[in-house]
Amino acid sequence: MRRGRDSTAHSSQDADDLIHAGSAVPVGSALQPGDLIFTRGGRPTRDFGHVGMYAGDGFEVIAPRTGKSVMLQRVESDRVQAVRRLLP
């Protein structure tokens, strides 16, 4: 995530880029709202095909695919492959 001159936040929409953002959080640790949650998916050659944002109370915000509405879903902890924390 970077800030432009107008102080708006900009971030990549690609899981391969976002996996390097912020700091790593051990999988299985307590999540904090705003944490990025990575799961496998997409093309077989990609490690991380999907990223959601932890919303709290066991839910994450996801955008399932182009053309679908953003939604809340329960975090499926057995599918979580990595977690990144952008905020301290």
pLDDT of residue 20: 84
Q: What is the pTM of this model?
A: 0.75
pLDDT of residue 5: 44
∠ CA(33), CA(36), CA(42), 5° rounding?
145
Give yes or no for residue 85 having a pLDDT over 70.
yes
Q: Are strands 9-10 and 2-3 parallel, antiparallel or unpaired?
A: antiparallel
Per residue in 11-44, pLDDT tens?
Answer: 556 777 788 889 999 999 999 999 999 987 655 5
CATH number at residue 65: 3.90.1720.10
Domain count, the chain: 1
Alpha-carbon 6 to chain mean position? 24
Alpha-carbon 68 to chain mean position? 17
Range of the domain at 58: 2-85
